[in-house]
């Protein structure tokens, strides 16, 4: 017998059941994990809700750990060993880890030369294609540390013609400003130079290049420096060809310390190695690379901690590195940075203030004199290296600087050389004061008004006129004095030329000639560039201190006739400009052994010169296109041409237009009349220079076609 019981249950809310028995999560929230308490897995959980921390109740996704199988590990290991074996056969003289830093071209060169380490680095021109370099890496000098010397990819000198790449800031006084004006006058020049640069890259890409030494090498690679006959020769070369410009070292004390070979402190070793590096440069040809090892050794003693040093030797070593050496190897931005840091160090040491009177006796007097010479040498180096960059001076001659000029001492014949160094330094300081004022004015406004320009020019002329006779005349003298005299004069011509050059750059972008003052400034600039080229050709010497400066100032001066040829290709002065450029090209060739950048400078100048000659032969093609803004003028000219008879007398018209009265000489509003035959006349009237030029090329081209028919 079965009994069945039936009952009823009250319906319950499903939501209530869910809340009473929550579903457990797979893991606790982040807040509960941190507090190490039990979590119910809800969102938010009870613990966070009770503490009003709902915002912190966050569950993170757990990542399952994947353990590779033994077979996978064995396969990867075998594949890696096979690749290492292949790389070892291809590059037997390289560590595999070092290959990652090499470019594709460098790897190819290493394979072609059997992995030899002395032929891995390609010519710097190989690294110039625009698509392979990021836009902001043009002046990244760290990227070019692996390049052999010289490194042409220098935006300051524009030796690799990097027109389209971003560069460090350069003002109106820079070479880049002149090259930009050339491209604006002749846009076709860009394509011609690009093709010529590509051809030059193909020719020079297999040239053997010697890599420079780098600070990443082991510290004990070079022995401790002791006296040697070779080192003595380098020290002598430094004091003969460098010290005459920046006599910041006490020559007697320096030579004594070097001969004794007792000092082994880092400030002394840094200074000694920089002196040896500069001595190696000025005592050898441009192909020599011994200076690299001395510079590398000096840099091991000039790390970041050196900027906190209070030793004058450290300051002097940084001045030589930033003011001379880095500019020689085409690292100008790094050189400016180091020289700026040296200025900060010198001001922190109080070198910009005149010592008190109680320090004016005995050894203190000599130390105070060295401080003066060191400070003013820094001022001169900074002025010389930034004059052609168009950057502000940041107050080299501010009122807070009251240090006196170096004092001249005459100690008989033995002290004549050092006294000449002081004389040269004092005159260079006066020149740099004028140059700094000009530099700051050009940094504010590129084109100076005629009054300011004449005032600056008069100051420069007055400085040059009142130079001591030993520095101003052409009498026979020792080599150091002759070198100082020539370089000072080259700087004088260059600064005067840069003072007037903005007028030429501005005129190339104008549709018509400006006021008479601008025209006079252009002629003055062209005349100064001619004088500079002729002076360099007569006075340069066959050693690197002379060749280095000569190439730089010659490169600056040659840009003026090049730009003038592109701007006024039909001027009667073209023949003279062409002769100046050809003289410069000959000098660059002669200076190849005495300047690191002579070959590159010659390449840039010759490319622009050949391209400009090609454009002059082809004619200005852009002017043959119709000008939409001068339709009325073109219609009138075509009407005159249609009415003129097609006879042999048309040749006379062409001859008259092209030879007897060439177009660029005409001024706006000039009326030209030419007899065509049978009493008819051909008249051309122009109200605007631009319209006249377009009409000029159009009428002559049509006349040539009519004559041919």
Task: Report the 10 Å Cβ neighbour count for 137.
Answer: 15
Structure letter (DSSP) for residue 324: I
- Give the pLDDT confidence score for residue 655 in this predicted structure: 36
Mean pLDDT check: name the lowest of 498-502, 546-550, 699-703. 699-703
* Closest listed residue to residue 182, CA positions, set 503, 563, 437, 457: 563
- Most confident residue range from 125-134, 188-197, 411-420, 442-451: 442-451
> In sequence order, which residues have a C-beta less than 8 Å from that of residue 652 and are 6 or more positions away?
674, 675, 676
pLDDT per residue over 200-229, tens digit each?
555 444 444 444 544 444 444 444 567 789
- What is the pLDDT averaged over residues 258-282? 93
| CA 153 to centroid of chain Cα atoms | 8
Mean pLDDT check: name the lowest of 202-206, 663-667, 699-703. 663-667
Go through the chain and tell me how many residues it has: 709
> CA dihedral defined by 690, 696, 702, 705, rounded to 10 degrees?
-130
Q: Which residues of 639-651 are buried (b: 16+ CB within 10 A; e: fewer)?
A: eebeebeeeebbe
Using an 8 Å Cβ cutoff, are 418 and 251 in contact? Answer: yes
95 class by beta-carbon count within 10 Å (0-12 exposed, 13-18 middle, 19+ buried): exposed
Parse the chain into domains and list their residue ranges: 30-60, 72-129, 222-418, 622-708
- Judged against a pLDDT cut of 70, whether residue 75 lies above it is answered with yes
* CA 447 – CA 575 distance, rounded (Å): 28
- Give the pLDDT confidence score for residue 386 in this predicted structure: 86
> In sequence order, which residues have a C-beta less than 8 Å from that of residue 516 and are 6 or more positions away?
none
* CA 141 – CA 548 distance, rounded (Å): 21
* Closest listed residue to residue 697, CA positions, set 623, 612, 615, 616: 623
- Give the pLDDT confidence score for residue 180 in this predicted structure: 78
Q: Which CATH number does 30-60 carry?
A: 4.10.240
Tokens at residue 643, please?
């009415």
Tokens at residue 119, please?
């032929």
3-state helix, strand, coil in the chain (%, to 5): 65, 0, 35
- What is the pLDDT averaged over residues 631-645? 44
- Judged against a pLDDT cut of 70, whether residue 70 lies above it is answered with yes
- What is the pLDDT averaged over residues 173-199? 72
Mean pLDDT of the chain: 75
* CA 492 – CA 431 distance, rounded (Å): 8
How would residue 569 be classed by pLDDT, with cut points 50, 70 and 90?
confident
Backbone angles phi, psi at 675, to 5 degrees: -75, 125
CA angle (142 as vertex; 138, 144 as ends), nearest 5? 65
Can you say whether the dihedral through the CA atoms of 160, 162, 166, 169 is positive or negative? positive
* CA 544 – CA 241 distance, rounded (Å): 9
* CA 355 – CA 365 distance, rounded (Å): 9
- Give the pLDDT confidence score for residue 207 in this predicted structure: 44
Mean pLDDT check: name the lowest of 144-148, 382-386, 560-564, 578-582. 144-148
- What is the pLDDT averaged over residues 426-441? 94
- Judged against a pLDDT cut of 60, whether residue 630 lies above it is answered with no
| HSE toward the beta carbon, residue 357, CA cutoff 13 A | 0
Residue with the bigger pLDDT between 98 and 53: it is 53
Task: Report the 10 Å Cβ neighbour count for 483.
Answer: 25
> CA dihedral defined by 635, 636, 637, 638, rounded to 10 degrees?
50
- What is the pLDDT averaged over residues 189-210? 56
Q: Can the peptide bond before residue 150 be classed as cis, meaning omega within 30 degrees of 0?
A: yes
- Judged against a pLDDT cut of 60, whether residue 517 lies above it is answered with no
> In sequence order, which residues have a C-beta less than 8 Å from that of residue 12 and are 6 or more positions away?
none
- Give the pLDDT confidence score for residue 707 in this predicted structure: 40
Strand, helix or coil at 676?
strand
- Give the pLDDT confidence score for residue 621 in this predicted structure: 47
For residue 683, the cross-strand partners are 673
- Give the pLDDT confidence score for residue 706 in this predicted structure: 42
- Judged against a pLDDT cut of 70, whether residue 8 lies above it is answered with no
What is 197-264 written as a DSSP string?
A: HHHHHHHHTT---PPPP-TTS-GGGSPPP---HHHHHHHHHHHHHTTTT---S-HHHHHHHHHHT---
Mean pLDDT check: name the lowest of 81-95, 554-568, 584-598, 630-644. 630-644
* CA 203 – CA 205 distance, rounded (Å): 6
Tokens at residue 371, please?
């401080």
Residue 48 Cα distances to 26, 27, 51, angstroms: 17, 15, 5
* Closest listed residue to residue 28, CA positions, set 39, 37, 20, 36: 39
For tokens 């002046």, name the residue: 139
* CA 245 – CA 278 distance, rounded (Å): 13
Backbone angles phi, psi at 673, to 5 degrees: -125, 130
* CA 524 – CA 448 distance, rounded (Å): 15
Query: What percent of the chain is modeled with pLDDT above 70?
Result: 66
Using an 8 Å Cβ cutoff, are 297 and 222 in contact? Answer: yes
How would residue 153 be classed by pLDDT, with cut points 50, 70 and 90?
very low
């Amino acid at each position: 017998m079965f009994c069945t019981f039936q009952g009823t249950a009250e319906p319950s809310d499903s939501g209530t059941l869910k809340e009473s028995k929550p579903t457990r999560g797979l893991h606790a929230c982040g807040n509960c994990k941190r507090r190490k308490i039990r979590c119910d897995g809800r969102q938010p959980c009870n613990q966070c809700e009770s503490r009003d921390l709902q915002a912190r109740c966050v569950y993170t996704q757990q990542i399952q750990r994947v353990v590779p199988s033994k077979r996978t590990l064995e396969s990867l290991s075998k594949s890696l060993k096979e690749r290492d074996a292949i790389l070892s056969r291809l590059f037997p003289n390289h560590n595999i880890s070092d290959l990652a830093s090499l470019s594709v071209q460098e790897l190819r060169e290493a394979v072609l030369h059997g992995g030899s380490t002395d032929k891995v680095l390609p010519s710097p021109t190989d690294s110039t294609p625009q698509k392979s370099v990021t836009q902001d890496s043009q002046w990244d000098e760290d990227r070019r540390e692996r390049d052999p010397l010289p490194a042409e990819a220098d935006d300051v000198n524009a030796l690799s013609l990097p027109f389209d790449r971003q560069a460090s800031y350069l003002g109106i006084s820079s070479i880049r400003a002149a090259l930009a004006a050339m491209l604006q006058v002749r846009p076709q020049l860009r394509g011609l130079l690009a093709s010529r640069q590509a051809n030059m890259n193909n020719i020079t890409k297999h040239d053997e290049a010697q890599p420079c030494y780098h600070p990443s090498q082991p510290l004990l690679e070079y022995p401790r420096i002791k006296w040697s006959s070779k080192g003595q020769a380098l020290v002598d070369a430094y004091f003969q060809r460098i010290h005459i410009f920046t006599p910041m070292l006490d020559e007697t004390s320096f030579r004594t310390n070097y001969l004794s070979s007792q000092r082994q402190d880092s400030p002394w070793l840094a200074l000694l190695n920089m002196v040896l590096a500069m001595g190696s440069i000025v005592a050898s040809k441009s192909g020599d690379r011994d200076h690299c090892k001395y510079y590398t050794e000096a840099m091991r003693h000039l790390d970041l901690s050196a900027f906190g040093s209070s030793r004058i030797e450290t300051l002097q070593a940084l001045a030589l590195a930033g003011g001379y050496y880095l500019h020689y190897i085409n690292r100008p931005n790094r050189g400016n940075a180091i020289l700026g840091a040296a200025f900060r160090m010198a001001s922190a040491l109080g070198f910009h203030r005149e010592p008190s009177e109680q320090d004016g006796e005995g050894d203190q007097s000599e130390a105070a004199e060295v401080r003066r010479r060191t400070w003013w040498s820094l001022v001169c180096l900074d002025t010389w290296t930034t004059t052609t960059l168009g950057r502000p001076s940041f107050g080299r001659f501010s009122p807070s600087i009251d240090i006196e000029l170096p004092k001249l001492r005459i100690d008989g014949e033995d002290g004549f050389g050092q006294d000449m160094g002081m004389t040269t330094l004092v005159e260079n300081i006066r020149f740099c004061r004028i140059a700094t004022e000009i530099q700051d004015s050009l940094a504010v406004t590129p084109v100076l008004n005629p009054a300011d320009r004449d005032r600056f020019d008069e100051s420069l002329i007055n400085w040059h006129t009142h130079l001591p006779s030993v520095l101003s005349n052409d009498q026979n003298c020792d080599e150091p004095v002759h070198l100082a005299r020539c370089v000072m004069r080259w700087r004088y011509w260059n600064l005067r030329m840069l003072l007037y050059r903005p007028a030429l750059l501005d005129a190339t972008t104008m549709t018509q000639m400006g006021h008479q003052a601008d025209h006079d400034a252009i002629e003055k600039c062209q005349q100064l560039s001619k004088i500079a080229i002729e002076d360099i050709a007569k006075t340069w010497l066959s050693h690197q201190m002379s060749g280095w400066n000569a190439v730089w100032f010659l490169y600056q001066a040659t840009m003026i006739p090049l730009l003038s040829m592109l701007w006024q290709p039909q001027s009667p002065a073209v023949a003279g400009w062409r002769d100046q450029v050809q003289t410069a090209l000959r000098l660059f060739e002669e200076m190849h052994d005495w300047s690191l950048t002579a070959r590159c400078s010659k390449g840039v100048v010759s490319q622009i010169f050949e391209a400009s000659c090609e454009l002059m032969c082809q004619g200005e093609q852009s002017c043959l296109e119709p000008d939409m803004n001068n339709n009325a003028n073109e219609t009138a000219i075509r009407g005159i041409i249609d009415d003129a008879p097609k006879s042999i007398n048309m040749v006379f018209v062409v001859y008259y237009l092209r030879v007897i009265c060439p177009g660029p000489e005409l001024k706006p509003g000039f009326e030209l009349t030419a007899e065509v035959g049978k009493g008819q006349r051909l008249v051309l009237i122009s109200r605007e220079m631009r319209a006249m030029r377009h009409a000029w090329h159009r009428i002559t081209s049509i006349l040539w076609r009519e004559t041919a028919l």
